[in-house]
């Protein structure tokens, strides 16, 4: 299947394929839209069964970044990169060195940071080859791993949702099921625990769920059933597609909001959630904190106040989406898409 035939192709401006036989690096960088500025989005390092899967992921995620960056109101368009994890042994430093050279060859139309499978150490290697990178541990504007800021944005968004659904201005006493305890998921759990929420957690990493049980008093749940818990909030913080035809009928929560990208396996899932009277927090709105933090780094002068104000803006935008959804009787993901496209087109 060609790029143009992929169901995830959405008039992307460009798609770039890079390979480096010496390091085993095979990467795809998709630029969806640059109306608002250079394409910006994280780099995902993942095991894909086929190159078609990697391409579809890059196309889908880069489109979501256009929407996310528009709703976060930052001067960047949408882009995303995926690196196919080599089979067998490989030199990680050599691989990310080659990847940094690939980014530099694009001349600034794409800026990156961490995503699934990538660390701040990897980004430091990339930075040695290109300046179009954020999420760094060193440098004048460095702020480190953006995951805690993503978690803070999700936390603030859940406050907005809880106030609308449960008429309470805090999260105390709410039962929250968190799917995935990576950097963002665990940070979100820490914030929820401190706020008095009761946690139910699942992850394939047994050590991290045991830590959540020990440190946060979380209840460990089988990963295959975390979505079906009798809770108030379901927070998908792993990979995409958590809301799909199989899981959606089992969800008991009244709010769905988490850090994962592309939580709906298909846009129609938004209609089904609405029909079940479940308030969905559009993923690319509620999880925009990380890219806001990266944007602050890429400006060259990191300002925490600017980041904080942008996080407040995300919460306000989410509240606007909820209001329009109720007024127009339309699913929240449809409202969010419309607002995002309006901002993107306005910048053309």
- Assess whether the region 14-63+77-127 and the region 147-289+301-306+313-346 belong to the same CATH fold: yes
User: Are the C-beta atoms of residues 14 and 80 closer than 8 Å to each other?
Assistant: no
Higher pLDDT, 16 or 147: 16
**CATH value of 147-289+301-306+313-346 in 3.30.930.10, 3.40.50.170, 3.40.50.1220, 3.40.50.720:** 3.40.50.720
Q: Which two tokens stand for residue 286?
A: 């509620």
Give dist(CA 124, CA 222) in Å, integer: 36
**Catalytically annotated residue among 68, 80, 198, 274:** 80
Of all residues in the chain, the percent with pLDDT exceeding 70 is: 100
Residue 80 annotated as catalytic? yes
Q: What per-residue string of b and e applies to 106-124 under the rule 16 or more CB within 10 Å gives b?
A: beebbbbbbbbbbbbebbb
pLDDT-derived band of residue 270, with 50, 70 and 90 as boundaries?
very high
Pairing of strands 175-179, 198-202: parallel
pLDDT of residue 139: 81
pLDDT of residue 116: 87
Q: Which two tokens stand for residue 128?
A: 């040695």
Instruction: For the chain, state the CA radius of gyration.
Output: 19
Domain boundaries, the chain: 14-63+77-127, 147-289+301-306+313-346
Give dist(CA 69, CA 73) in Å, integer: 6
* Interval 182-194: pLDDT, tens: 999 999 999 999 9
Q: Which two tokens stand for residue 48?
A: 């894909």
Calculate mean pLDDT across residues 243-261: 97
Calculate mean pLDDT across residues 13-38: 98
Quick one: which of 209, 210, 180, 176 has its CA closest to 193? 176
For the beta carbon of residue 297, count every other beta carbon within 10 angstroms: 23
* Interval 117-153: pLDDT, tens: 999 999 999 999 999 999 888 887 778 888 999 999 9
* Interval 233-247: pLDDT, tens: 999 999 889 999 999
DSSP H helix total and E strand total for the chain? 11, 12
Q: In terms of CATH architecture, what is 14-63+77-127?
A: 3-Layer(aba) Sandwich (3.40)
Give dist(CA 307, CA 42) in Å, integer: 18
Residue 33 has pLDDT above 80, yes or no: yes
pLDDT of residue 301: 84
Quick one: which of 16, 20, 84 has its CA closest to 46? 84
Model's pTM, two decimal places?
A: 0.92
pLDDT of residue 1: 65
Average pLDDT, the chain: 96
Give dist(CA 76, CA 283) in Å, integer: 18
pLDDT of residue 142: 75
């Amino acid at each position: 299947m060609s790029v143009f035939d992929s169901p995830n192709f959405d008039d992307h401006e460009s798609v770039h394929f890079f390979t480096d036989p010496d390091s085993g690096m095979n990467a795809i960088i998709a630029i969806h839209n640059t109306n608002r500025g250079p394409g910006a989005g994280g780099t995902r390092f993942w095991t894909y069964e086929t190159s078609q899967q990697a391409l579809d992921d890059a196309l889908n995620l880069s489109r979501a970044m256009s929407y996310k960056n528009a709703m976060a109101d930052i001067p960047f368009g949408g882009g995303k990169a995926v690196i196919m994890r080599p089979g067998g042994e490989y030199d990680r430093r050599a691989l990310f060195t080659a990847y940094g050279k690939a980014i530099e060859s694009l001349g600034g139309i794409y800026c990156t940071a961490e995503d699934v499978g990538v660390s701040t150490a990897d980004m430091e290697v990339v930075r040695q080859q290109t300046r179009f990178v954020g999420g760094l541990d060193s440098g004048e504007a460095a702020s480190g791993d953006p995951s805690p800021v993503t978690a803070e944005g999700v936390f603030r968004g859940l406050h907005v949702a809880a106030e609308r659904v449960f008429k309470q201005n805090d999260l105390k006493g709410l039962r929250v099921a968190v799917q995935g305890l990576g950097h963002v998921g665990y940070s979100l759990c820490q914030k929820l625990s401190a706020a008095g929420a009761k946690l139910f957690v699942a992850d394939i990493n047994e050590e991290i769920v045991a830590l959540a049980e020990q440190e946060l008093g979380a209840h460990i749940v089988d990963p295959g059933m975390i979505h079906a818990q009798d809770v108030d909030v379901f927070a998908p913080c792993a990979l995409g597609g958590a809301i799909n035809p199989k899981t959606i009928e089992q969800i008991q929560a009244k709010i769905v909001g988490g850090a994962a990208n592309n939580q709906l396996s298909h846009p129609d899932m938004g209609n089904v959630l609405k029909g079940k009277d479940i308030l969905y927090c559009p993923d690319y709105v509620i999880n925009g904190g990380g890219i806001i933090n990266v944007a602050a780094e890429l400006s060259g002068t990191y300002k925490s106040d600017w980041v904080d104000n942008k996080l407040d803006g995300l919460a306000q935008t989410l509240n606007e989406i909820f209001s329009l959804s109720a007024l127009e009787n339309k699913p929240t993901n449809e409202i969010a898409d419309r607002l995002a496209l309006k901002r993107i087109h306005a910048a053309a």
